[in-house]
Amino acid sequence: MASSVISPAPTSSFINNKKDLGSFCFSSTSQFSVNKCKKLAVSKKIVSVMAPQQSERRPATTGSVKNAMTLTEKIFSRASEKPQLSPGDNVWVNVDILMTHDVCGPGSFGIFKKEFGENAKVWDREKIVIIPDHYIFTSDERANRNVDILRDFCMEQNIKYFYDIKDLGNFKANPDYKGVCHIALAQEGHCRPGEVLLGTDSHTCTAGAFGQFATGIGNTDAGFVLGTGKVLLKVPPTLRFVLDGEMPDYLLAKDLILQIIGEISVAGATYKSMEFVGTTVERLSMEERMTLCNMVVEAGGKNGVVPADGTTFKYLEDKTSLPYEPVYSDEKASFLSEYRFDISKLEPLVAKPHSPDNRALARECKDVKIDRVYIGSCTGGKTEDFLAAAKVFLASGKKVKVPTFLVPATQKVWMDVYTLPVPGSGGKTCSQIFEEAGCDTPASPSCGACLGGPKDTYARMNEPMVCVSTTNRNFPGRMGHKEGQIYLASPYTAAASALTGYVTDPREFLE
């Protein structure tokens, strides 16, 4: 493929004498252009994609704007009650939602009690969301005890949003149980544009898909937030990713974020905000936007964010009744760097072992023999992810050649797998198509084997294996055995690979 530069829009420049610093083909690299500069050298002609003005929108609560700010800077400004902020400023931020789960909740509660007192009360029982999801369906006593500690704390503090599970033998007997925290937060209406959402999990950044600041924090910070509702944060600079072009039918958002991480590396966005705009992003569903933001932490990002628009507001209509006020990057906001991609020319990708930035074209790995496929997690276990996998199986009409494990993220996703008809299937559900293809029966909703977990965790790799997975990390030991090899991929590529027993480009079945 011929190399060409995708130039910035005529109205957008970063330095007076523009110079493209990179132009590559979409092979193991990409076709893109990147403009980099220090903040002081940024031209005032920068633009960003702006959502249409809402007729009922109230004036920004940050007061008069002296200098243009990015979306993330505006959220920090509002949450810190300061009219103007710049990258590098340290501010006390008011937290709208704090989430914790069974792995980090007990430690956070311990710190809270140590620092605020055994009888202390949390700052706001309605702004704390507690979701057991990591090590749930196991006989491991310590893992089970963690859930008991969550339950005791929530009863003591009268926490409003605790999604409990007591019957581990039948998750459906637990109406409050949800599953993977990052997907449950969205489904249960805890994600809102313009807000600050913190969680004791690195993939809390998933919620940035809703136009809010969302990031992971440690147990110590969470203990402090439990008592005060505040946290000290540094304002991150923003990297802007402009994704344009019609996305081919064989690509998913997982391919887009693997492409980006492959370009900038796992350290390329360290303590930076990653803002996603462009015509491709505007056409993504909310679940696909969640996939995009979910893996910014694999690039070192502090947070990822997609400006709220009609798609966001439509999704939230039946999710939350609380008011929210979206914010958007100013036309002349300063971005540390801008990256542009023509998505119409992108091909299906994988991240080879043992790093999310070890990018390769799926077709370049066609000789890699695999032992299993795993479809699930906060990254690749949503309803649309299973619909995508079912689409490949349906198009092929074949049976899988390796064990294929399916772990819906939440109880709602599990129900969708069994009830929603797959387009073009004549009314068949995902579960019917999966059964016909010879996949394992969809498992109880949870984080499953993504983090490894206790030895009896469903689909955990307890011996050296090669796995194609829709999860987010492929470091040694990530899904169990330290000598396991994980190829990160989209649900399309994962399903195609299950059908052949090798890493496979999904175009083999979708074109």
First to last CA, the chain: 20
* pLDDT computed for residue 25 by the predictor: 36
Same domain, 214 and 228: yes
Same domain, 265 and 390: no
CATH number at residue 491: 3.30.499.10
Q: What is the pLDDT of residues 155-182, one digit of tens each?
A: 999 999 999 999 999 999 999 999 999 9
Same domain, 97 and 226: yes
Q: Tell me whether residue 418 is in a domain.
A: yes
For 79, counting Cβ atoms within 10 Å of its Cβ (0-12 exposed, 13-18 middle, 19+ buried), the class is buried
User: Whole domain around residue 372: which residue ranges?
Assistant: 350-509
Q: Tell me whether residue 447 is in a domain.
A: yes
* pLDDT computed for residue 511 by the predictor: 81
Q: How far apart are CA 31 and CA 6, in angstroms?
A: 8
Q: What is the DSSP string of 65-89?
A: -SS---HHHHHHHHHHT-S---TT-
89-93, long-range: CB < 8 A, 24+ apart: 89/234, 89/235, 90/232, 90/233, 90/234, 90/235, 91/232, 91/233, 91/235, 92/230, 92/231, 92/232, 93/196, 93/230, 93/231, 93/232, 93/233
Q: Tell me whether residue 61 is in a domain.
A: no
In the chain, which residues have pLDDT < 50?
Answer: 1-61, 65
Q: Tell me whether residue 382 is in a domain.
A: yes
Query: How many structural domains comprise the chain?
Result: 3
* pLDDT computed for residue 34 by the predictor: 46
Domain boundary (235, 266, 286) is at 235
Same domain, 169 and 179: yes
Domain boundary (175, 202, 235) is at 235
Same domain, 137 and 104: yes
CATH number at residue 297: 3.40.1060.10
CB-based contacts of 227, cutoff 8 Å, min separation 6: 112, 115, 116, 120, 122, 123
Its pTM stands at 0.89
Domain boundary (212, 235, 258) is at 235
Same domain, 420 and 359: yes
* pLDDT computed for residue 64 by the predictor: 52
Joined together, the tokens standing for residue 252 give 């998913």
Q: How far apart are CA 348 and CA 492, in angstroms?
A: 9
* pLDDT computed for residue 4 by the predictor: 30
Q: What is the pLDDT of residues 112-129, one digit of tens each?
A: 999 999 999 999 999 999
Same domain, 209 and 260: no
Q: How far apart are CA 449 and CA 459, in angstroms?
A: 6
CB-based contacts of 45, cutoff 8 Å, min separation 6: 11, 12, 13, 332
Cβ(305)–Cβ(479) below 8 Å: no
Q: Tell me whether residue 54 is in a domain.
A: no
